[in-house]
Amino acid sequence: MSATRLLVIVGFLAAIGLVAVLEFASRRERSRIPSLGDVCAFVMQYEVGRVPVGRIGLFGFWWWVGWHFFAR
């Protein structure tokens, strides 16, 4: 395995590990860090007029993620 490939793998694992650490930290009592679910819910509240832009955007992104990994 080349050094660059190892570096890339470590980088992606670090990002995933950071998500796990932040989610864990958010569940501590009186934590100032919101959970990932709360961040998503906050983003999904965003509307332009009566159009739920945040909701449509997050649903669309997650839909694309599934299609990208499972269908193509």
Binding site for other proteins (CB under 8 A): 2, 4-5, 8-9, 11-12, 14-16, 18-19, 22, 25-26, 31-34, 36-42, 44-45, 52, 55-56, 58-60, 62-63, 65-72
Nearer to other proteins, 12 or 48 (CB): 12
C-alpha to C-alpha distance for 33 and 22, rounded to whole angstroms: 7
| 3-state class (DSSP) for residue 48 | strand
Rounded to a whole number of angstroms, the minimum distance from the CB of residue 48 to other proteins is: 15
* Nearest distance, CB of residue 62 and other proteins, angstroms: 6
User: Considering beta carbons, is residue 5 or 49 the nearer one to other proteins?
Assistant: 5
* b/e 31-66 (16+ beta carbons within 10 angstroms → b): eeeeeeeeeeeeebeeeeeeeeebbeebeeeeeeee
